[in-house]
Amino acid sequence: MKTAENLSRDEFLILLMLYAANADAYFLPEEESFIKERAGEESWNKVHQLFSKLSDKETIDIIMAHKGVYCRNEEEKVAALKAVKEVFTSDHRYSQMEHVLMDLLGLLLK
């Protein structure tokens, strides 16, 4: 499951949201609930299980491998970043660290 051909668009977005939610070292219950609700039980279990086994580098490698498939144009990139921002604001806060992470993810998906 660590290869690009094994993740659907929705699973890619779930992985991206999980990475973003965990990158600031505070994976809040509100963020988890938001992602679970958006993902659905089956996709959540599949991607969360994968994510829990990956290092940061492996996660970034998978994101980079998928960006050419699921973030091919500006519209798709904006949609992916919108999903991440929704995770960040799911706890009704948008910290400075999360702002920085958004900028970094924007560069990563460029």
Domain boundaries of the chain, sorted by first residue: 4-108
- Spatial CB neighbours of 78, under 8 Å, sequence gap ≥ 6: none
Residue 15: count of CB within 10 angstroms of its CB? 21
Q: Which numeric CATH code is attached to 4-108?
A: 1.10.3680
In angstroms, what CA-CA distances link 71 with 28, 52, 92? 27, 24, 27
On whether the CB atoms of residues 16 and 105 are closer than 8 A, the answer is: yes
Residues 89, 87, 23, 30, CA torsion sign:
positive
Residue 23: count of CB within 10 angstroms of its CB? 18
pTM to 2 decimal places: 0.88
Q: What is the pLDDT along the chain (110 residues), one digit of tens a residue?
A: 455 457 999 999 999 999 999 977 778 899 999 999 999 999 999 999 999 999 999 999 999 999 999 999 999 999 999 999 999 898 888 888 888 999 999 999 98
